[in-house]
Structure 1
Amino acid sequence: MKQCWWGVALLLLSTTLPAQASTAHACRVYFKEADKFIQYISQREDLKHNMPEIKANFEQSKKQIMTAPLADQKVICDKEMQELNSLNKMFGPKEETVLNK
């Protein structure tokens, strides 16, 4: 009986880990670039006062992405990346980054 439970546990692990990995892969660039953007604008005097709201919005977005069905996560991340790209063009650093290409 103990072996049966281990088998079930391993099966569940083997099916959930690849799903989590693909989720992380699909959204990794967005999360990384959003962190860079937040770090950059937190140093700008003209935008510092908006940081609590910006950080809260990013954290809420991240939670929604991670709880969304796997099939929807890539679509959500692509949309969020487009929005981040627009924000980065308006407020981000002027040197070329992944978002400015």
Structure 2
Amino acid sequence: MSLVKDYYQGNYRNIPYKTISAAVVGLLYVLNPIDIIPDFIPFIGQVDDALVIGFCLRLMEKDLNKYKAWKSEQSMSKDGAKSEDKTSDNKDKNAKAKKKS
């Protein structure tokens, strides 16, 4: 869901067409009431859905890992910026304290 949100907001657009199409086809298959093994058959009816989702996730795995690495890099850079802001705030406070003394 985070990938979809970042793609929609334009933050991350490095997603190949095959990955997007695999996700769409997988969702359409699972949501479609007409499939190879009807869903009304207990347990067996969901096996084909699970296989299709597993296949689609396997196709998308490489790109999902790239997104995960990008996301962690973004959070690390944000954390670095926050710590730099705190460091500069502390330096400003120390400088003000020295001026008062």
Q: Same fold (TM over 0.5)?
A: no
Structure number, greater radius of gyration:
2
Larger relative CO (CA 8 A, sep 6+): 1 or 2? Answer: 1
Give the TM-score normalised by structure 1: 0.35
Give the TM-score normalised by structure 2: 0.35
